[in-house]
Amino acid sequence: MPDPELELLRGTFDLLILKTLGWGPQHGLGVLRWIEQVTENRLQIEEGALYPALHRLEHRGWVDATWRLTENNRKAKFYRLTPLGRRQLTAEVSRWQRYTEAVGMVLSAQGGAA
């Protein structure tokens, strides 16, 4: 069951897509399913949000796409990371780790403001 209180923070959706594609080429529905599976359905992405994001990443040169057949013999656009996308993924992961570390420091701080 999705957690209604867990909404994607601005800028994290691109990171999730890049990370998903970091495991290999995937069609859009596969990206959705992987994110839902890994998060145990805590995050659910609407198709209406996914495809504009994939097109945005394609426009930035971070992913490219080719038409192929799915495991069910249906024609679908498969997305894969480009070399630029791999570098962007590395940068985004580093930025996210620094961000969560800083937030963690605030949340675990003892005492009041200076």
Residue 10's pLDDT is what?
61
60 within 8 A of 79, measured Cβ to Cβ: no
Residue 2's pLDDT is what?
55
Q: Is residue 74 part of a domain?
A: yes
Q: Within 13 Å of residue 60, how many CA atoms lie on the same side as its CB?
A: 18
88: Cβ contacts below 8 Å, ≥ 6 apart? 18, 60, 62
Residue 43's pLDDT is what?
87
Q: What is the C-alpha separation between 69 and 64, in angstroms, rounded?
A: 16
Residue 18, domain extent: 12-103
Q: What is the C-alpha separation between 114 and 102, in angstroms, rounded?
A: 17
User: Could you tell me the CATH number of the domain that includes residue 97?
Assistant: 1.10.10.10
For the chain, which residues score pLDDT lower than 50?
A: 5
* pTM score: 0.84
Give the total number of structural domains in the chain. Answer: 1
Residue 4's pLDDT is what?
52
Q: Distance of CA 68 to CAs 14, 21, 31, 79, Å? A: 23, 16, 15, 10
Q: Distance of CA 20 to CAs 24, 52, 101, 110, Å? A: 8, 16, 22, 37
Q: Is residue 98 part of a domain?
A: yes
Q: Within 13 Å of residue 49, how many CA atoms lie on the same side as its CB?
A: 15
